[in-house]
Amino acid sequence: MQTVLDGLCDYRRYCWNQGLALWNDMYAESRIMDNKRLRPTFRKARNEMVANKADWQYQYSARCLQLAISDLGNAWKHFFDQSQPDWGKPHFKSKRAPRQGFKTDRAKLINGKLRLDKPHGINKWADIKLKGAKGLSGKLGVVSIVRENGKYWATLPLEKPVAPQSKTGKKTAVDVNVGHFNLPGKRISVFPKRLRFLYQRIKHYQRQLAHKQKENGKQAAQSNNYVATRTKLQRDYRRVANIQHDLMQKLTTQLVSKNDTIVIEDLAVKQMQMSHVASKGLQRSLFGYFRQTLAYKCEWYGKRLVLADRSYPSTQRCSQCGHVKTRDDRILLAGNHKHHTKHNEYICYQCGAVMDRDENAVQNLLQLV
């Protein structure tokens, strides 16, 4: 079965690269001929790939090719929409990439085992044993299987009806900041000590790999020490992702279960990345993942999610009198140089209120509902 999974990972990469090359040729032809009708689409690329399939391709699942071209079409759509979190031009997949995988939408979950669709010419076909899959039931969606560090990971999207939760009559607001989220009278850290330790170790492994590459060049990747260090680095990255996703899932579930209305800001995260230091902090705080998770959970459980407009001055507005700071009175990342106030201090020069900056922003968000 491991040989079969390795072959499917390689076949997925082959379909992606062949589809991307075909897509580029179609687009170049449409530009040369100046004919918009010749521009590539998902259906055109898929039909061309299916019509020119080689004999050896029939031993693999047909859905692997279909889903690879479908994801390629979505990647090109995202390329023309810079608001997407994974915005960028699609690139060719490398067989040396540490993360490989494939997708299928014809898998079945039987007695805690995953059964993939059997390709042509295969008589014996075994099920895949999964850890922690006992008791799972429901209709499977598109299953993703990933190979990383010699191990396989499966994502099983189960479709189950979700009953709306009972109404609580409460409302809350969340002011997101780098490293912590603020709620009314509460502050939640999204950067615990365990993550700091892992990030320090990741930095150490990255320096080791960079030193090996500087000393040995391309031959560094062939040494056992380099492979061992890269494996440790990938392991810590996976641990960081698991911890962050666990924090966000628990936080969003708690917010949705205890409140009927939740107010958050509609932030332009890409415009907030002013330097590499700020970009790293924003990425580790998972603003986009928090909003995405909270949005679909509110839709599941029948709760209301309110997005504050990007021009709403939640930080500059006084929550008690409504005065909005302008020009030299504005609070910036370093505070206010004119009045010599710190970053987390908010002083209203109209009513004299003195508050914490984040708590003031939370109260302003609450006043929207």
pLDDT single digits (tens) 342-368: 777 888 877 878 888 888 888 888 888
Question: pLDDT exceeding 90 applies to what percent of the chain?
Answer: 23
pTM of this prediction?
Answer: 0.71
Residue 322 tokens, joined: 């409504």
pLDDT at 185: 84
Alpha-carbon distance values, 233 to 196, 236, 283 (Å): 15, 5, 18
Give Cβ neighbours of residue 277 (< 8 Å, ≥ 6 apart).
none
Q: In what order do the strands lie in the sheet with 143-148?
A: 99-104, 143-148, 151-155
Distance CA 16, CA 4 (A): 18
Sign of the torsion angle spanned by Cα atoms 189, 193, 195, 199: positive
Residue 107 tokens, joined: 């898998």
pLDDT at 289: 86
Alpha-carbon distance values, 23 to 4, 49, 279 (Å): 28, 11, 32
pLDDT single digits (tens) 273-328: 666 656 677 677 788 888 889 998 998 888 999 988 888 888 888 888 888 877 87
Cβ-in-10-Å burial (0-12, 13-18, 19+) of 45 comes to: buried
pLDDT single digits (tens) 222-270: 788 888 888 899 889 889 988 999 999 999 999 999 999 999 988 776 6
Q: Are 189 and 178 in contact (CB under 8 A)?
A: no
Alpha-carbon distance values, 181 to 84, 97, 122, 175, 315 (Å): 23, 35, 53, 6, 14
pLDDT single digits (tens) 13-29: 999 999 999 999 998 99
For the residues of 196-248, what is the DSSP string, one character each? HHHHHHHHHHHHHHHHHHHHHGGGGGGSHHHHHHHHHHHHHHHHHHHHHHHHH
pLDDT at 17: 95
3-state class (DSSP) for residue 263:
strand
3-state class (DSSP) for residue 186:
strand
Of 111-125, 152-166, 178-192, 309-323, the least confident = 111-125
pLDDT at 203: 92
pLDDT at 48: 92
The number of residues making up the chain comes to: 369
For residues 353 and 126, the model is more confident at: 353
The mean pLDDT value of the chain amounts to 84
Does the structure show a pLDDT above 70 at 120?
no
